[in-house]
Chain A
Amino acid sequence: MSGALPAQLEELVADFTAVPQEDKLELLLDFSRSLPALPDRLGEHPEELEQVVECQSPLFLTVEWEEGAVPGPGAPVRLFFSAPAEAPTTRGFASILHEGLDGLPAQEVLDVPDDLPERFGLTQLVSPLRMRGMSAMLARIKRRVRELQDD
């Protein structure tokens, strides 16, 4: 899979590939700091926390239709994430996906290639094991978008 990316996502990939290796972690850290907080109405949702076999951090994510949008493949979706401060890498991945996907039409989110995480040039730095966290997040975002469409 090597499909084209939505412009706002492509821009992020370009940002990451442009910075030298030694500054990439710093950039990821910036992203982890800029992850927007959950709106109050979504609260903490502890029951929604899904955790990979011990080794990864709890992450809450949900996807909703843009307020007022008529549900359909062309309707924009909004993404919400929450991850604890002691999991900055998870927060960083969530923040990248938030910035790259939030507000896109549902179909465009579903069309994002599954090899997206490999395109940021982080694998060597962060380790393949850790990068799986981002793949998993993307898979769950897509699953939630499909669930929205089925509702």
Chain B
Amino acid sequence: MGVAVENNEDFAQYAHPERLVSTQWVAEHRDDPGVVVVESDEDVLLYETGHVPGAVKIDWHTDLNRPDTRDYVDAEEFAELMARKGISRDTTIVVYGDKSNWWAAYALWVFELFGHPDVRLMNGGRDKWVAEGRELSTEKVVPERADYPVVERDDTPIRAYQEDVLAHLGEQPLIDVRSLPEYTGERTHMPDYPQEGTLRGGHIPTAASVPWARAAAEDATFRSREELEAIYRDEVGLSDDDDIIAYCRIGERSSHTWFVLKHLLGFERVRNYDGSWTEWGNSVRVPIVLGEEPGEVPGSAR
């Protein structure tokens, strides 16, 4: 389903090269029938300042999150969103965004919750497109409405809830992808900044600290398979039959790591805990650990 996969030898090293496209591929194929380019950013205004010509905007807050529940849109809402953006079930979606594709990876992950068959990430994201001096457009994109079926979201394979993480403790690996000061608990905020919504600093017991950015190169593209294997297999000790859960603060940075583990390194079982620290750090009767060591699961937590 979808258009032909990019034949790019840089991507051949990864487990699922079909999940990536280059900026050059996007420049050549953005207008192809069956391709819709989606920009998804942290900054809600960035798209409006100029975007890949023809790209539509999908915002994590206003489009993908529900206003009334801390959850993602339901099947009907997703189908409506896709239809409005000109996306059908057999469309090849190419997502890109700011900040090394944090939010793009997050959007891609949400598309996968709904089982959209062909979603790809533009390697290097918005930063690389801009750095290469490629065309940006402020022209308003009005997609022709498409038909998109109502498909129920299936969270089980790639999304973890708090209770899943509790059951996971001490049994299977957890990856904390936040910055080190967030992991140690030294910081939940900067001077004069509110506490980013979290009461306590620290991390989930046993979680290994691997800041997401270690998977990204200077130009916002992904590091080589060899470099990624060195981090996640050699250093953290992940192995093929592990059941892995990644988390950050609200689930966006960990979507980036989720993408790396699942699609670039090919781990079969990887879930993103989108409740992340803003849920865990505020929850009653769940254990946390301070400091640089992963720590152990207290007896009472299990």
Residues of A whose CB lies within 8 Å of any CB of B are 25-26, 28-29, 32, 50-55, 57, 85-90, 92, 124-127, 129-130, 132, 135-136, 139-140, 143
Contact = CB atoms under 8 A, between A and B. Distances in A.
Nearest to B211: A54
B253 interface: yes
A89 B194 contact: no
Interface of B: 42-46, 48-49, 61-62, 67, 98, 127, 130, 178-179, 181-182, 187-194, 196-197, 249-250, 253
A29 B49 contact: yes
A90 B99 CA distance: 15
Given A55-B249, A124-B67, A127-B62, A25 B44 contact: yes
A1 to B, nearest CB: 15
Chain A binding surface, main DSSP class: helix
A136 B194 contact: yes
A55 B131 CA distance: 21
Nearest to A87: B43
10 contacts: A50-B190, A50-B191, A53-B181, A55-B249, A88-B43, A124-B67, A129-B250, A130-B44, A132-B194, A136-B194
A96 to B, nearest CB: 13
The winner among B178, B187, B193 for most chain A CB atoms within 10 A is B193
A29 B188 contact: no
B45 A53 contact: no
B45 A136 contact: no
Contacts of B192: 136, 139-140, 143
B48 A54 contact: no
B43 A57 contact: yes
Chain B binding surface, main DSSP class: loop
In the A-B complex, the 7 residue pairs with the smallest Cβ-Cβ separation, listed nearest first, are A127-B61, A88-B45, A139-B192, A136-B193, A89-B43, A89-B45, A140-B192
A54 B179 contact: yes
Contacts of B48: 25-26, 29, 88
Contact of B249 (A29, A53, A130): A53
Given A53-B196, A124-B67, A139-B192, A28 B49 contact: no
Contacts of B253: 54
A27 B61 CA distance: 19
A68 to B, nearest CB: 29
B190 A52 contact: yes
Contacts of B98: 86
Nearest to A51: B190
Contacts of B196: 52-53, 55, 132
Contacts of B127: 86
B94 to A, nearest CB: 20
A125 to B, nearest CB: 7
B44 to A, nearest CB: 5
B44 A85 contact: no
A50 B188 CA distance: 14
B193 A90 contact: no
Nearest to B278: A129
Nearest to B43: A89
Contacts of A51: 190
Given A52-B196, A54-B179, A126 B191 contact: no
